[in-house]
Chains A and B, each alone.
Chain A
Amino acid sequence: MTTEPRQTFAGASLEVILERMAALGMQNAARGLSTMLGRPIQMSVPRLSLVPLCEVSSRVGGPEQEAVGIYLLVTGDLGGHVMLILPIADALRLLDMVLEVPDGATQTLGTLERSALGEVGNVSTSLFLNAIADATGMVLRPSPPAVLVDMVGAIIDIIVASAGAISDDILLLEAEFLGPDRSLDMFFWMVPMVGEPVEA
Chain B
Amino acid sequence: MAAVAKPKLAQTLPPAAEEERVRSAGLGQIVVSNAPAEVLVAYGLGSCVGVVGYDPTNKVAGLLHALLPQHRYGEKNLAKFVDSGIPQLVLEMEQGGALRRQVIWYVVGGAEMLKLPGATSEFNIGAKNSEMARQVMAREGLTPRAVETGGTSGRTVKVAVRDGAVIVRTLGRDERKL
Of B47, B77, B118, which is within 8 A of A157 by CB?
A: B47
Interface residues of A in 150-200 (CB under 8 A from B): 150-158, 160-161, 164-165, 168, 198, 200
Of B28, B43, B123, which is within 8 A of A62 by CB?
A: B43
Binary interface encoding of chain A residues 123-157 relative to chain B, with 1 for a CB under 8 A from any of its CBs, else 0? 00000000000000000000110101111111111
**Distance, CA A56 to CA B67, complexed state (A):** 13
In the complex, the chain A residue whose C-beta lies closest to that of B129 is A161
Kindly list chain B residues whose C-beta atoms are within 8 Å of the C-beta of A28. none
Of B68, B113, B118, B153, which is within 8 A of A164 by CB?
A: B68
* A66-B171, A146-B114, A158-B123 as given contacts; A151 in contact with B27, CB under 8 Å: no
Check if A42 is an interface residue, CB within 8 A of chain B.
Answer: no
Of B80, B116, B154, which is within 8 A of A73 by CB?
A: B116
A-B contact count (CB 8 A): 105
Taking Cβ atoms with an 8 Å cutoff, the residues of A that contact B are 53-54, 56-57, 62-64, 66, 71, 73, 143-144, 146, 148-158, 160-161, 164-165, 168, 198, 200
Jot down 14 A-B pairs with beta carbons below 8 A, ordered by A. Answer: A53-B27, A54-B28, A62-B43, A63-B44, A144-B117, A154-B154, A155-B44, A155-B46, A155-B154, A157-B44, A158-B47, A160-B27, A165-B68, A168-B77
| Complex contact A154–B72 (CB within 8 A) | no
Kindly list chain A residues whose C-beta atoms are within 8 Å of the C-beta of B59. none
Interface residues of B in 17-70 (CB under 8 A from A): 26-29, 43-48, 67-68
Taking Cβ atoms with an 8 Å cutoff, the residues of B that contact A are 26-29, 43-48, 67-68, 72, 77, 80, 111, 113-123, 125, 153-156, 171
8 closest cross-chain pairs (CB), A and B: A153-B44, A154-B154, A154-B46, A157-B46, A54-B26, A151-B44, A63-B44, A63-B43
Chain A proximity of B27: nearest CB distance (Å): 4
Chain A proximity of B43: nearest CB distance (Å): 4
In the complex, the chain A residue whose C-beta lies closest to that of B43 is A63
* A53-B27, A160-B27, A164-B27 as given contacts; A153 in contact with B117, CB under 8 Å: no
Of A53, A73, A146, which is within 8 A of B28 by CB?
A: A53
**Distance, CA A121 to CA B28, complexed state (A):** 29
| Complex contact B80–A151 (CB within 8 A) | no
In the complex, the chain A residue whose C-beta lies closest to that of B70 is A165
Chain B proximity of A138: nearest CB distance (Å): 22
**Residue in B48, B77, B117, B121 with the greatest tally of chain A CB atoms within 10 Å:** B48
**Residue in A66, A149, A151 with the greatest tally of chain B CB atoms within 10 Å:** A151
Kindly list chain B residues whose C-beta atoms are within 8 Å of the C-beta of A157. 44-48, 67, 113, 125, 154
| Complex contact A148–B114 (CB within 8 A) | yes
**Residue in A62, A66, A155, A161 with the greatest tally of chain B CB atoms within 10 Å:** A161
| Complex contact A158–B46 (CB within 8 A) | yes
Kindly list chain A residues whose C-beta atoms are within 8 Å of the C-beta of B117. 143-144
Kindly list chain A residues whose C-beta atoms are within 8 Å of the C-beta of B125. 157, 161
* A63-B44, A158-B46 as given contacts; A146 in contact with B120, CB under 8 Å: no
**Distance, CA A146 to CA B80, complexed state (A):** 26
Kindly list chain A residues whose C-beta atoms are within 8 Å of the C-beta of B111. 154
Kindly list chain A residues whose C-beta atoms are within 8 Å of the C-beta of B77. 168
Known contacts A57-B43, A154-B154, A165-B68; 10 additional CB pairs below 8 A are A54-B29, A57-B44, A63-B43, A63-B44, A66-B171, A144-B116, A148-B113, A151-B171, A154-B44, A155-B44
* A66-B171, A143-B116 as given contacts; A161 in contact with B67, CB under 8 Å: yes
| Complex contact B171–A150 (CB within 8 A) | yes
